[in-house]
Amino acid sequence: MNRLAWIDNLRVTMIILVVVLHTGVTYSGIGGWYYKENAHVDTFSTLFFAFYLTFTQAYFMSLLFMVSGYFTQRSLLRKGTKKFVHGRLFRLGIPLIVFIFLIQALAVKLAFPDVDIVDWYVNGLKNLNFLGWTGPLWFVEALLIFSFIYILIFKLFIRRRFKLNLKITTLNVVLLIAAITTGAFALRLVYPIGTDFYNLQFGFFSAYIFMFAMGILAYAADWFETITFRDSKKWLLISLGLGIPAWFAIMFLGGPIDGVMKVEGGWNWPAFFYALWESFFCVTFILALVGLYKYRMDVSGKFQKFLSDNAFGVFVFHAPILIGTSMILKDFPMYPVAKFFLVAGIVVPVSFLVSWLIRRVPAFRKVFS
């Protein structure tokens, strides 16, 4: 399959953001992670981390699902069902199992040194807690589920290559935002932000499902080929010009700034408008990034190839690296935002180095590519 350099570069950027976001959770007290150094931080740090974490969360995983949907359709048509399923189980299933039964234990032991890891294993297997030991690889688990559901739909209703005459128009964008918003608001009535079901945070899944489907449709309608640089600049201005002031309004009226988290979910207007804001920024900013990367980041070379080859390994292995680095620097006094930048600046390159070293073993090269 021909590589698309700009998509590789976009994927690398999103995976780096995964590492940086988890670093932000570590030092902000916002969100969930193995080790959180601060339960509370000062007002400026709270504002900084809330801004970064919420804006990043709004789009980055949805974009990865959209890219995955695009290549799901491409790969399924090229390989056929049998080879596609085998490939998915190999490329996604094995890393998921490795994380659940090896890397998760290492991450837990680093974060909680006093834990009896044998007892933790036994209880986890006995109580089925191991189903939630996916850590960051919940994405891989969800992607496997989405892929197999799509295969079923494809075999029952589609069965062949199809093309769509569906354009990226303002009306279609508005309809997509409305659909994601409705789904997110409804899901958060049952699964508010911050809750999970065996590490799957269903409160965010409306965007994930729709953007995975949009990736499939993007392949069928050639959206990536038709989007222009002018389109991307328009969507960038819209996403930031409306998204930033709307975020501040929602945060101060119903978010963590006033000390009461109303945006997590529930039958209230802050929860609805936060779902609307998140869906709006997700769709418009992704459209902007697709065009910007296609026309400005469609470059390849040795460095870009190194990053692309090792990006998935970074995704799989970064958790214990981040936790270990955080624990080493635990007693180092530093302002939370400054420490966030320091640790992120260490963990990102070290994660790429670890991925490269592990992938030098021939048996691991394809598994973690």
* Segment 148-180, tens digit of pLDDT: 999 999 888 887 777 878 889 999 999 999 999
Q: Quick: pLDDT tens for 263-298.
A: 888 898 889 999 999 999 999 999 999 999 999 999
Average pLDDT over residues 212-226: 92
Q: Is the pLDDT of residue 63 over 90?
A: yes
Question: Do 119 and 333 form a contact (C-beta atoms < 8 A)?
Answer: no
Confidence of residue 183 (pLDDT cuts 50, 70, 90): very high
pLDDT at residue 290, rounded to an integer? 96
The full length of the chain comes to 369
pLDDT over 70 for what percent of the chain? 97
pLDDT at residue 259, rounded to an integer? 45
Confidence of residue 1 (pLDDT cuts 50, 70, 90): very low
What phi and psi, each to the nearest 5 degrees, are found at residue 260? -125, 120
Average pLDDT over residues 51-68: 96
Contacts of 1 (CB under 8 A, 6+ apart): 74, 75, 78
Alpha carbon separation from 56 to 17, 20, 59, 184 (Å, rounded):
8, 10, 6, 17
Distance of CA 77 to the CA centre of its chain: 25
Alpha carbon separation from 231 to 55, 170, 186, 237, 285 (Å, rounded):
21, 11, 31, 10, 11
Tell the burial category of 358 from Cβ atoms under 10 Å away from its Cβ (0-12, 13-18, 19+). middle
- Predicted TM-score (pTM) of this structure: 0.94
Alpha carbon separation from 53 to 26, 114, 131, 292 (Å, rounded):
11, 30, 26, 22
Average pLDDT, the chain: 93
pLDDT at residue 257, rounded to an integer? 46
Average pLDDT over residues 191-214: 96
3-state secondary structure of 59: helix
Handedness of CA 86, 225, 312, 137 (dihedral sign): negative
Q: Quick: pLDDT tens for 89-148.
A: 999 999 999 999 999 999 999 999 999 999 999 999 999 999 999 999 999 999 999 999
